[in-house]
Amino acid sequence: MKPKSNTKTEKTKLQLLHQYYSYTGFYSFVWNAVKKSIPFIILLVAAIYVINHFFNINEALIELTKTLPVYGVMLFFFASESFLGLVPPEIFIAWAAKMHAPWLYLALLALLSYSGGLVSYYIGYVITKIPKIHTYLEEKMDKQLKNSRKWGGFLIVVGALLPLPFSISCMATGIINFPFKNVMLYGSLRLLRFLIYGFVIFQAL
């Protein structure tokens, strides 16, 4: 009888969680965010495909890590992670694997990526100070901003852990003026991602 009771309780908890997400607009927020991002993702993928057809991006980036000095690679990576973060971090993790102290360089990359996300947050925050953008956000996107403020932590966690640009997630939370201390907290999961990827890539190389 007890197992049945536990199953019932678990189902009830899941139902309550589902109801909470439904009432608070979480599902619609995620769906709208995905729906609005699809055209941009398609354009970005198409642009990368066309460029890569004539010019091998990955080979160029790998060559860049070979020719630049260590501090140059670090600066380039930090700049990438601060502005949109479109360069895959895996290339730099593979670079770290070939260094004389791979885990030290991996740790530096992780800290630079995390710091770059915080810089992106402030870029987003500064953008909202531009009068026209501020007016547009307040008048045209009031509902979306309220939902985004409610689920801003989710944006950060997704950007930190999944293979999506962390910089863009942080910039979005800066635009919605999500609390910076929460960005620092949720964004620290970025360090975990680098640790996991480091284990995988270091073993493979």
Q: What is the chain's length?
A: 205
Residues 38 and 135 in one domain: no
Query: Is the pLDDT reported for residue 21 higher than 80?
Result: no
83 DSSP 8-state letter: T
* Tally of domains within the chain: 2
Tokens of 115: 């710091």
Q: Helices 2-24 and 26-54 meet at what angle, rounded to 10?
A: 70
User: What is the SS3 assignment for 31?
Assistant: helix
Residues 65 and 10 in one domain: no
Indicate the residue among 19, 40, 55 that finishes a domain: 55
* Residues contacting residue 82 through CB under 8 Å, at least 6 positions apart: 115, 116, 119, 120, 123, 167
- How high is the pLDDT of residue 116? 93
Residues 35 and 115 in one domain: no
CA distances from 104 to 64, 97, 178 (A): 20, 10, 32
Residues 64 and 134 in one domain: yes
Structural domain containing residue 176: 56-204
135 DSSP 8-state letter: H
- How high is the pLDDT of residue 84? 78
- How high is the pLDDT of residue 200? 83
| CA 90 to chain CA mean position, Å | 14
Between 121 and 12, residue with greater pLDDT: 121
Indicate the residue among 14, 40, 55 that finishes a domain: 55
- How high is the pLDDT of residue 55? 61
Residues 158 and 184 in one domain: yes
Residues 163 and 88 in one domain: yes
- How high is the pLDDT of residue 114? 94
What are the tens digits of pLDDT across the range 33-87?
555 555 655 665 566 566 556 666 556 666 776 778 888 889 999 998 998 777 8
Average pLDDT over residues 129-148: 63
Residues 111 and 167 in one domain: yes
* Gyration radius (Cα) of the chain, Å: 20
Residues 115 and 48 in one domain: no
Query: Where is average pLDDT lowest: 41-45, 59-63, 125-129, 181-185?
Result: 41-45
Indicate the residue among 13, 29, 55 that finishes a domain: 55
- How high is the pLDDT of residue 143? 57
- How high is the pLDDT of residue 40? 52
Residues 162 and 104 in one domain: yes
Tokens of 98: 């070939």
What's the whole-model pTM score? 0.68
